[in-house]
């Protein structure tokens, strides 16, 4: 598995994380963000609001999950899977790697947008996801989609065939 590097900065009640497989890029972004926080009075004010003050975690390799584009490249690129199957893979990614509990239709649309799927704006995502429900791959509870055991099994079988 590819190594990822992560930096977490906390200043008072403000916290942000940067993560990348490219350590040099991560360090450059840290310097860029440091210039945004160059106002010492503001930093002191924020730090005084919290007992933790300013914390910096050194860049270190993590066993972090892959990005959505890496997931797409690894499992979907070069295949002719129907839209429903692509949606199933993306829902699996959102549940497993992004740890989303219940996926909205807009989450699926945003995932298609993130991977740069051609003409995704013309898709009827509600219809696509309802097809998954008819096949028993998805459940919809409180307008949130969740993979069923059968849906998870479908995705994992497709992944193992790669």
Query: Residues 62-75: pLDDT tens digits?
Result: 445 688 888 888 88
Task: Give me the pLDDT at residue 65, please.
Answer: 63
Q: What is the mean pLDDT of the chain?
A: 79
What CATH number is attached to the domain comprising 129? 1.10.460.10
Does 77 share its domain with 111? yes
Owner of token pair 């890029």: 25
Task: Provide the number of structural domains found in the chain.
Answer: 2
Beta bridge partners of 62: 4
CA-based Rg of the chain, rounded to a whole angstrom?
20
Asked if 40 and 118 sit in the same domain, the reply is: no
User: For the ranges 2-11, 12-21, 45-54, 95-104, which has the lowest average pLDDT?
Assistant: 45-54
| pLDDT per residue as tens digits for the range 29-82 | 777 666 656 666 656 665 565 545 445 555 544 445 688 888 888 888 888 889
The DSSP element (H or E) to which 151 belongs, if any, is helix 149-160
Rounded to the nearest angstrom, the gap between the alpha carbon of residue 154 and the centroid of all alpha carbons in its chain is 21
The parent domain of residue 86 ranges over 68-160
40 & 100 share domain: no
The number of CA neighbours under 13 Å toward the Cβ of 148 is: 13
Residues 56 and 78 in one domain: no
């Amino acid at each position: 598995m590819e190594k990822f590097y992560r930096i977490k900065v906390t200043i008072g009640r403000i916290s942000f994380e940067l993560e990348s497989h490219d350590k040099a890029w991560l360090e450059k972004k840290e310097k860029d963000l440091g210039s945004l926080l160059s106002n010492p009075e503001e930093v002191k004010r924020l730090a005084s609001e919290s007992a933790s003050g300013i914390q910096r975690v050194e860049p270190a390799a993590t066993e972090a999950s892959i990005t959505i584009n890496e997931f797409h490249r690894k499992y979907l690129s070069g295949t002719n899977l129907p839209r429903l199957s692509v949606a199933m893979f993306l829902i699996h990614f959102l549940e497993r790697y992004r740890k989303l509990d219940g996926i909205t239709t807009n989450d699926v649309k945003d995932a298609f947008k993130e991977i740069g799927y051609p003409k995704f704006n013309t898709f009827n995502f509600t219809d696509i996801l309802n097809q998954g429900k008819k096949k028993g791959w998805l459940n919809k509870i409180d307008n949130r989609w969740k993979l069923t055991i059968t849906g998870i099994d479908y995705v994992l079988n497709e992944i193992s065939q790669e």
